[in-house]
Amino acid sequence: MRACFVRSLFWAGVAGLSALSVTPQEYLPPLGVWDKLQHVLAYAVLSALGGRAYPAMKHVAALFFGLVALGGALEAIQTIVPGREAGVADAVANAVGTGIGLFVERAARKSV
């Protein structure tokens, strides 16, 4: 995929995830999936996309810490969003998902 397209997808994902994270609970559909699994999957997909968008090895740490910081900031913002709760466990799930996504993306890159 072209780098510009993948970067656009990554930043659209950041914007979409951010918007969903600060949307009041009453406006979100129930997914029927364990909350922590939702966090892990969302951040894994986003970080894998980020790893593809910014493939240089020097970007891996920035992606990891940037997405972990984003997840933490969004959790903090949820303290003022109606029907939402901030949680340390959610922030940890975000970080775990970020690590998994970057690991899988790097492993896939090496296997090709």
In tens digits, the chain (112 residues) has pLDDT values of: 688 999 999 999 999 999 999 999 888 888 777 889 999 999 999 999 999 999 888 889 999 999 999 999 999 999 999 988 889 999 999 999 999 999 999 999 888 6
State residue 6's pLDDT score. Answer: 94
Cα 71 from chain centre: 7
Q: Rounded to whole angstroms, how far apart are CA atoms 58 and 79?
A: 34
Tokens of 44: 């894994």
User: Would you say 68 and 95 are in contact if contact means Cβ atoms under 8 Å apart?
Assistant: yes
What is the count of structural domains for the chain? 1
Q: What pLDDT does residue 57 have?
A: 84
User: Which residues constitute the domain of residue 8?
Assistant: 3-111
pLDDT at 74: 96
Closest CA to 70 of 28, 13, 4: 13
The pLDDT value given to residue 58: 87
